[in-house]
Amino acid sequence: MAKAYWIAFYREIRDPDKLAAYAKIGGPAIMAGGGKFLARGVADYAFEAGLKERTVLIEFADMKAALATHDSPAYQEALAALGDGAVRDMRFVEAAPV
C-alpha cells in the first residue's frame, strides 16, 4: 500500500485561541492514528495563488489510516474545538508509485 499524506493549507486564522485548543487535541489524535508530522509552520515561500500562511504535512502508512484518523472521535473533538477559528484547504493524497 502507498503512503498517504494529509496536507492542510490555512487560508486564514480567525481565532488563535481556538487554533490552540484544536492543536492540543488534534495533534495527539493524529499521532494516535499513526500520523507523523513532517512539516508544520508558516510557509517560507508562496507562489501563484498560494498564501504565506500555516501549512501542515502529515504522513500516514496508507490512505485507510489517514481517513480513519480524520473520522475518529478524538479528531472530531478537535474539529469541534476549532470551529470557525480558521479557514483551511485540506487535502489527502496518496504517494506516487516509485
Cβ distance 74 to 28 under 8 Å? yes
Q: Is 32 helix (H, G, I), strand (E, B) or coil?
A: helix
pLDDT of residue 1: 83
Show the low-confidence residues of the chain (pLDDT under 50): none
pLDDT for 73-85, tens place per residue? 999 999 999 999 9
pLDDT of residue 18: 98
pLDDT of residue 95: 95
Q: Is 59 helix (H, G, I), strand (E, B) or coil?
A: strand
Q: Is 87 helix (H, G, I), strand (E, B) or coil?
A: strand
Architecture of domain 4-94 in this structure: 2-Layer Sandwich (3.30)
pLDDT of residue 64: 97
pTM given for the model: 0.92
Cα 60 vs. chain centroid, distance in angstroms?
A: 12
How crowded is residue 40: how many other Cβ atoms within 10 Å of its Cβ?
13
